[in-house]
Amino acid sequence: MSDVGSAALSGNLAPFIRDRLFIGGEWVRPKSGRVIESIDPATEEVWAHIAEADARDVDDAVAAARAALSGPWSRLEPSRRGALIHRLADLVRQNAGELAAIESRDNGKPLRDTLGEMQRAADWLTFFAGAADKINGHQIPYSPHALAYTRREPVGVVGAILPWNSPILLCCWKLGPALAAGNTLVIKPAEQTPASILEIGRLAAEAGIPAGVVNVVPGYGKVAGAALAAHPGVNKISFTGHHSTAIKIMQAAAGNLKRCSFECGGKSPYIVFDDADLDRALSVAVHSAFRSTGQSCSLASRIFVQRRAYDAFARGLAERAARIRVGHPMDERTHIGPHTSAEQLAKTRDYIQLGLESGARLLTGGGRPSGLDKGYYVSPTVFRDVDTSSRLAREEVFGPVLAVMPFDDEEEVVRLANSTDYGLVGGLWTRDVSRAHRVAAQIEAGLVSVNTFRPVHYMLPYGGYKLSGIGRENGMEALDEFTETKAVVIDLSPNMPADPFAN
Ligand code: ADP
């Protein structure tokens, strides 16, 4: 285990200090001289002091990113750009232990999960490294007397505003395609988890990515995030977080018509028809609902089960949820850790209270796990018979709280699945192949899975309908979000063009 990881387990809480920002390839002091005190959610104590950027630092970072845009970076052959991203991917793999330990301490996710996320983050970079020299334009036969073609050019300076649930992985979802397409970035991690992304800045420099291409400015959303969203030198914002924040960013970004892509929340339906392989559906459901302490936008937070299978399925969910081991993120036996912040824990508790008050039946959980007196812990919670119009059934909890509801037929469940403002992910279980295609086509979500759930992968476009977002991450589609398309037309005609003003 890394130093950070073993220190956490041994209770040696020497603070982790990174008091510089990463701007223009240099480690610079924040203008305010301030640091963010990052809380370890397992102990509720400050574990790290991380440099805090304000609007002045964001100005400097944007200036560095703009300068890099027209510097050597713009003259690199795409395959060379790809090679540098490959190198960064290798460094993420080599440093996975240390990076994972920092994230586990910052956001409370079990070390075995964050270790997996580092490998995945590197895989994302590798995929987009390979895409760097495959971003082609095409020729358009619009006239026999002209040559017309498109060029794919970088959008420019990208402001990447990150969430706290999977900082490095979701950073790489943006970093990979943005760099592959030749952009430069100013990255702002979330204030709840400011520690790990500076390490990505360090590794980018070590990989040989030119100074100013990747800049990292930890800071508060209302200060550094808002400054980035409004900055006239930024061409695009790529954001992951709550839709209410996306709305504010869109308003701030309107000043210079920045391109925006948003990946926001979800309230993903998980639909189990009674002809499905129910054992398999049950096994996948538990993991899909509770992993990451429910703090992921694409979890199965609403489970609809066809009436005949409902009682047994709900019982099975509760039994399995009760067996999930909640514990310290650094303990390798832990399945799920604490919430990342006190605010998130409070929000989860509010939804549990709403469930109790609205008449849903609590099958398991609902409180603090025994033996965990400190830390933002809550037991995996299952409610059945949740009123489909209630807030618990329609709003994103972002905690380990599952709403289970019965349905009778296909038409009803499609209506229920779509009766939320979100539309990120959906899943259904059936052995009827026609029904699988029919229902998949009707679910309003950017990713629908059949007889599996949420196969998030770098090759699969990912993004939301409705309040779940705008644009797509992952897959070759992600490159569309980080490129401008320019049409070039060259006249080939030997004849004089007709002059409409001649007569
Ligand atoms: P959550 O509600 O889940 O905590 P947020 O959407 O508030 O998530 O945060 C996601 C990211 O957005 C964080 O990096 C945060 O600092 C940033 N952020 C929050 N408010 C703003 C804002 N007004 N402008 C720009 N970024 C913001």
Distance from Cα 485 to the centre of ligand 1, integer Å: 30
Residues with CB under 6 A from ligand 1: 161-163, 188, 190-191, 221-222, 225-226, 229, 241-242, 245, 248-249
In a domain, 492, yes or no: no
Assess whether 253 and 341 both reside in one domain.
Answer: no
CA 475 to chain centre: 14
The DSSP annotation for 279-292 comes to HHHHHHHHHHHHGG
In a domain, 53, yes or no: yes
Atom of ligand 1 nearest to the CA of 252: 24
Residues 255, 194: Cα–Cα separation, whole Å: 28
CB crowding 76-112: b at 16 or more within 10 Å, else e: beeeebbbbbbbbbbbbbebbbbbbbbbbbbbbbbbb
Q: What angle do CA 470, 476, 480 make, to 5 degrees?
A: 50
Q: Whose CA is nearest to atom 25 of ligand 1?
A: 225
Assess whether 258 and 385 both reside in one domain.
Answer: no
Q: 353-359: long-range contacts (C-beta < 8 A, 24 or more apart)? A: 354/390, 354/391, 354/392, 355/381, 355/383, 355/386, 355/390, 355/392, 355/401, 355/403, 358/386, 358/387, 358/390, 358/391, 358/392, 359/385, 359/387
Distance from Cα 108 to the centre of ligand 1, integer Å: 19
Residues 141, 458: Cα–Cα separation, whole Å: 33
Atom of ligand 1 nearest to the CA of 190: 14
Active site residues: 263, 297
Assess whether 383 and 364 both reside in one domain.
Answer: yes
Mean pLDDT of successive 10-residue segments in the chain (503 residues)?
Answer: 60 82 98 98 97 98 97 95 98 98 97 98 98 98 96 98 98 98 98 98 98 98 98 98 98 98 97 98 97 95 98 98 98 97 98 96 97 97 97 96 98 97 97 98 98 95 98 98 98 94 90
pLDDT tens for 261-302 read 999 999 999 999 999 999 999 999 999 999 999 999 999 999
Q: Environment class of residue 497 by beta-carbon count within 10 Å: exposed (0-12), middle (13-18) or buried (19+)?
A: exposed
Domain CATH number, residue 217: 3.40.605.10
Atom of ligand 1 nearest to the CA of 248: 23
Distance from Cα 223 to the centre of ligand 1, integer Å: 10
pLDDT of residue 137: 97
Q: Environment class of residue 448 by beta-carbon count within 10 Å: exposed (0-12), middle (13-18) or buried (19+)?
A: buried
pLDDT of residue 9: 59
Assess whether 223 and 273 both reside in one domain.
Answer: no
pLDDT of residue 4: 63
Q: Whose CA is nearest to atom 2 of ligand 1?
A: 242
Assess whether 352 and 243 both reside in one domain.
Answer: no
In a domain, 310, yes or no: yes
Dig out the tokens for 107 from the structure: 């956001």
Distance from Cα 280 to the centre of ligand 1, integer Å: 37
Distance from Cα 430 to the centre of ligand 1, integer Å: 38
Residues 248, 379: Cα–Cα separation, whole Å: 33
The DSSP annotation for 317-346 comes to HHHHHHT--B--TTSTT-SB---SSHHHHH
In a domain, 88, yes or no: yes
Is 387 in contact with 360 (CB distance < 8 Å)? yes
pLDDT tens for 47-84 read 999 999 999 999 999 999 999 999 999 999 999 999 99
Atom of ligand 1 nearest to the CA of 229: 25
In a domain, 498, yes or no: no
Backbone angles phi, psi at 331, to 5 degrees: -80, 125
pLDDT tens for 147-202 read 999 999 999 999 999 999 999 999 999 999 999 999 999 999 999 999 999 999 99
Q: Whose CA is nearest to atom 17 of ligand 1?
A: 221
Q: Whose CA is nearest to atom 14 of ligand 1?
A: 190
* Residue 233 exposure: Cα atoms within 13 Å on the Cβ side: 18
Q: How many CB atoms lie within 10 A of CB 8?
A: 25
Distance from Cα 242 to the centre of ligand 1, integer Å: 7
pLDDT of residue 454: 85
Distance from Cα 190 to the centre of ligand 1, integer Å: 7
Assess whether 168 and 305 both reside in one domain.
Answer: no
Tell if the pTM clears 0.85, that is, is over it: yes
Assess whether 198 and 308 both reside in one domain.
Answer: no
Mutate to test the pocket of ligand 1, among 161, 240, 264, 340 (most ligand atoms within 8 A of CB): 161
Atom of ligand 1 nearest to the CA of 228: 25
Q: Whose CA is nearest to atom 24 of ligand 1?
A: 226
Assess whether 88 and 138 both reside in one domain.
Answer: yes
Amino acid in the structure at residue 230:
A
Atom of ligand 1 nearest to the CA of 264: 6
For residue 371, CA distances in Å to 118, 325, 375, 377 come to 30, 12, 11, 11
Residues 67, 27: Cα–Cα separation, whole Å: 17
Assess whether 430 and 372 both reside in one domain.
Answer: yes
Assess whether 248 and 310 both reside in one domain.
Answer: no
pLDDT of residue 11: 58
In a domain, 503, yes or no: no
Mutate to test the pocket of ligand 1, among 245, 247, 262, 395 (most ligand atoms within 8 A of CB): 245
Residues 430, 340: Cα–Cα separation, whole Å: 35
Assess whether 376 and 472 both reside in one domain.
Answer: no
DSSP run (H or E) holding 260: strand 259-263
- Helix then strand then coil, in percent of the chain rounded to 5, is 40, 20, 40
Domain CATH number, residue 346: 3.40.309.10
Domain limits at 396? 269-450
In a domain, 354, yes or no: yes
Assess whether 140 and 282 both reside in one domain.
Answer: no
Amino acid in the structure at residue 156:
G
pLDDT of residue 15: 87
What is the number of domains present in the chain?
Answer: 2
SS3 of 391, please?
helix
In a domain, 152, yes or no: yes
